[in-house]
Structure 1
Amino acid sequence: MARPRILVVGAGFAGVECVQRLERRLSPGEADIALVTPTSYQLYLPLLPQVASGVLTPQSVAVSLRRSKKYRTRIIPGGAIGVDTKAKICVIRKITGEIVNEPYDRIVLSPGSITRTFDIPGLVDNARGMKTLAEAAYIRDHVIAQLDLADASEDEDERISRLQFVVVGGGYAGTETAACLQRLTSHALKHYPRLDPKLIKWHLIDIAPKLMPELGDELGLSALEILRRRGIEVSLGVSIAEAGPDSVTFTDGRVLPCRTLIWTAGVVASPLITTLDAETVRGRLVVDPEMTVPGLDGVFALGDAGAVPDLAKGGDAICPPTAQHSMRQGKKMAGNIIASLRGRPLQPYVHKDLGLVVDLGGRDAVSKPLGIELRGLPAQAVARGYHWSALRTNVAKTRVFTNWTLNALAGDDFVRTGFQAERRTSLRDSEYADVYLTPEQVREHTASITARG
């Protein structure tokens, strides 16, 4: 008999944890495992702001999936663009552009998310995101380029526009990005004697009334005080009305000359989810506590893709799409896949959140491990300790620890790699939301292939 085919879509926290455990617990002859991913590495997203600020090198947070000699999972280099749940076929666009059909017996949907945008004039053309390694590296180049260009310019208006930076999104990604990059530009000033320090201004804005409300009022206020003490202008209850190439208009009417707009105002599940024609909640697939999709045989969803009931809070709420939940869901998912193969009952996912950590760069941090509020160096130790321990390989841990040590001892550098000099990039270039099929196109595609076969 043919071995069962397990297809895991996405190499994020959930997908990689699932694959790793499947490999450890399944015998080689028990099932075939395949992983669909456009990149052969797992990206540690929470540390991207430190890549953008130059504290960490890009390869430090990109953990290779091909390093292990024992790795027997077949990697399919591409992205899933549709799923026919009746035919049990996943349609994949390979990185070569070729479209192929991958049959499965069980499919694990963990394709991650894309940046959430709104119908704001100029946003997708002029804003930059912070979800990929390329975006983080590009933003670093771009910010340093603004310092160089402002230093070279004799036009005062141009200098002002190049030295104003706007970050939209008062969550963890936006707050850490603004904090880390502001620290980079403030340290750079001594190397740019022609620049007036008063002209460099960072703005952090969010439509919500509070900064990182998940931290609670006291820690949220502590983070706000740290940012404002550094000179970052934080505007709450405000968003973007229009984004131009050299100016940004706020919803409160302010028009800011600006060449740098970083958009981190939330994420939505991958458009792959809409190709299943299944019930969703907040854009994520409705799943039961065992992470199976009701009514769809052999379909599992988790992480950003699955609205997993949070049983630790009674089951009425759904688990937030955090790295912490995704990693633990991936492990539980592997156990349930194995249980389904061996005819055993599936187990529900239950996990109590261990806390939150926010690294603001330097000695500034706020953390809430196990409900204990920490600030300053103790909070930073917890934040970095958590991130370090969550890295998947010893090689990655060594690289990150070495980078942290070098940065602490030698400080920042201000070298550009040349990405920014090629051409402007934007959210439109980084998000590929238009490559997915509709449910009808998926069925037509798989039907035509079946007819030819």
Structure 2
Amino acid sequence: MIVGAGFAGHRTARALSRILPRDRAEIVLLNPTDYFLYLPLLPQVATGILEARRVTVSLAHTLPRVRLVLGEAAGVDLEARRVAYTDPEGRHGELAYDRLVLAVGSVNKLLPVPGVAEYAHGFRGLPEALYLRDHITRQTELAAAEADAGECAARCTFVVVGAGYTGTEVAAQGKLFTDALYAQMARPRPTARAAWRSGGTQPRWLLLDIAPRVLPELDRRLSATADRVLRSRSVEIRTGTSVREATEAGVWLDDGEFVPTRTLVWCVGVRPDPLVDGVGLPVERGRLLVTPQLNVPGHPEVFACGDAAAVPDLTRPVRKKDGHGGDGQRDFELTPMTAQHASRQGDVAARNVAASLGHGEARPYKHHDLGFAVDLGGLKAAANPLGVPLSGPLADAVTRGYHLAAMPGNRVRVAADWLLDAVLPRQAVQLGLVRSWSVPLDTASPELARVPDAPAGKGPHRTTE
């Protein structure tokens, strides 16, 4: 049984279905949605390049030998070997297992900053991307009709907190999106254009991070490329800076500046799914402790991989000092919480689960990075395949090629949307299908939008907001 169909869970299910004979085992996948979400392309959904279904890959289509159970895992009984879950209609159930793979992924990382939970929105699920797309369009349209210069400026100001992968891509591509919206709305409306220009108002994006540079976890050359592209688009990069307080009218920065805004995008990182805390097993930095073979110590029938697992990185050894100040036993850093590691850990988890059932031999997880790619939009990217630093259109081609190769489906549709975006203007419309209250920052299920009150038993995610 596999819990979660993200990068780690989907890869585990797919590999297991190929390794295990059809008549020897049943593979069950528990997931809240019937699709695999290709997270790296979410910024393109939020900025109107890709339609939402392009980044959602059908589980039934890509995993024909796997039994899909729709539901959210609510708890794990290790002694009885059962997983409790709640289905989309609010009904409760249990599933038994012989082998369990926990690949529940991660959710938005929260910090004790006043007002953030109320006024910020994360970027971990499809509902959040759809909400942000509508919200950006709506704020730009409202600004075009606003007579007050101060209110117009606030609606045209977008603040992104966190200059990692997600935050950098959202800011880089978001600035292009709002510039395009600004041009579309101002061109046929002389009054709006005059009002905006008289107040000196154009789309303004701020990217904040307490780190000394953007993309602090990557090579400095990639960071420099991203920094150069962002600044060329007039994105304001504030390093060594974060949010002290968020309010309805704007945000207070920790340097004392107040920035009027109606948009706060929270991309400061992720934390393991809250289910991990309820399992009752040892954790490190909130992630389940596992061996290099991805086994949970003391429970040979339980495996964990992806963001929920504290997987030792055998390529990055460190030495802990003993009590006498000398070198103690050899230890390893943990693998970063990235899609690249999660998908490859899924392959190893599948192999080792099969080995525990008598098919093949178990092996430890060991992976050498082959490079990174950051899509900055507008034929701009930063990439270092095999350690070779690239920028500009060549890096963009490598980045898009990587995404097409990594996606388990929808490749032609994604490529078609890219082609259409290159020759046609983006559609400046808001559908209003996802409201602000339906995508709270503090949620254990960013993949699901909350729904209004429903009759008893009709939906596990109800709210009275």
TM-score higher than 0.5 here? yes
> What amino acid maps onto 1:306 in structure 2?
A
Q: Does 1:30 find its partner at 2:24?
A: yes
The Cα offsets for residues 203-247 of structure 1, whole Å up to 9 and x where unpaired, read as 000111121123322321221121111111010111111111221
In structure 2, the partner of 1:144 is 137
Q: Distance in 2 between matches of 1:264 and 1:408?
A: 27
Per the TM alignment, residue 32 of structure 1 is displaced from its structure 2 partner at its CA by 1.4
In structure 1, the partner of 2:121 is 128
Q: Equivalent residues in 2 for 1:319-334 (5 A)?
A: 319-334=335-350
Q: Would the aligned equivalents of 1:127 and 1:426 in 2 still touch at CA under 8 Å?
A: no
Per the TM alignment, residue 376 of structure 1 is displaced from its structure 2 partner at its CA by 0.5
In structure 1, the partner of 2:15 is 21
In structure 2, the partner of 1:405 is 419
In structure 1, the partner of 2:43 is 49
Q: Does 1:179 find its partner at 2:172?
A: yes
Q: Would the aligned equivalents of 1:161 and 1:257 in 2 still touch at CA under 8 Å?
A: yes
Against the structure 1 CA distance between its residues 426 and 27, is the aligned structure 2 distance closer, same or farther, given a 3 Å change threshold?
Answer: closer
Please report the TM-score for the alignment, with normalisation by the length of structure 2.
Answer: 0.88
Per the TM alignment, residue 428 of structure 1 is displaced from its structure 2 partner at its CA by 4.1
Please report the TM-score for the alignment, with normalisation by the length of structure 1.
Answer: 0.90
In structure 2, the partner of 1:241 is 244
Against the structure 1 CA distance between its residues 428 and 224, is the aligned structure 2 distance closer, same or farther, given a 3 Å change threshold?
Answer: closer
Per the TM alignment, residue 92 of structure 1 is displaced from its structure 2 partner at its CA by 1.0
In structure 2, the partner of 1:218 is 221
Q: Equivalent residues in 2 for 1:341-380 (5 A)?
A: 341-342=357-358, 345-380=361-396
Against the structure 1 CA distance between its residues 424 and 146, is the aligned structure 2 distance closer, same or farther, given a 3 Å change threshold?
Answer: farther
Give secondary structure in 1 for the equivalent of 2:143. Answer: helix
Alignment RMSD (CA, Å): 1.8
The Cα offsets for residues 67-100 of structure 1, whole Å up to 9 and x where unpaired, read as 35x7132211111121121221111122221222
> What amino acid maps onto 1:205 in structure 2?
L
In structure 2, the partner of 1:272 is 275
In structure 1, the partner of 2:325 is none
Against the structure 1 CA distance between its residues 425 and 234, is the aligned structure 2 distance closer, same or farther, given a 3 Å change threshold?
Answer: farther
Which one is further off, 53-62 or 241-250? 241-250
In structure 2, the partner of 1:3 is none
Give the number of aligned pairs. Answer: 424
Per the TM alignment, residue 409 of structure 1 is displaced from its structure 2 partner at its CA by 1.4
Q: Which runs of 4+ in 1 moved over 3 A?
A: 422-426, 428-433
Against the structure 1 CA distance between its residues 214 and 249, is the aligned structure 2 distance closer, same or farther, given a 3 Å change threshold?
Answer: same
Q: Does 1:258 find its partner at 2:261?
A: yes
> What amino acid maps onto 1:18 in structure 2?
T
Give secondary structure in 1 for the equivalent of 2:307. Answer: coil
Q: Would the aligned equivalents of 1:9 and 1:109 in 2 still touch at CA under 8 Å?
A: yes
Which one is further off, 138-147 or 73-82? 73-82
> What amino acid maps onto 1:218 in structure 2?
R
Q: Would the aligned equivalents of 2:351 and 2:360 in 1 still touch at CA under 8 Å?
A: no
Q: Distance in 1 between matches of 2:430 and 2:279?
A: 43
The Cα offsets for residues 349-370 of structure 1, whole Å up to 9 and x where unpaired, read as 1111111100100021111111
Q: Does 1:305 find its partner at 2:308?
A: yes
Q: Distance in 1 between matches of 2:406 and 2:394?
A: 18
Q: Distance in 2 between matches of 1:102 and 1:15?
A: 17
Gaps of 5+ in 1: 1-6, 434-453
Gaps of 5+ in 2: 187-191, 318-330, 447-465
The Cα offsets for residues 4-53 of structure 1, whole Å up to 9 and x where unpaired, read as xxx10000011111111111221222111111100000000000001100
In structure 2, the partner of 1:390 is 406
> What amino acid maps onto 2:217 in structure 1?
E
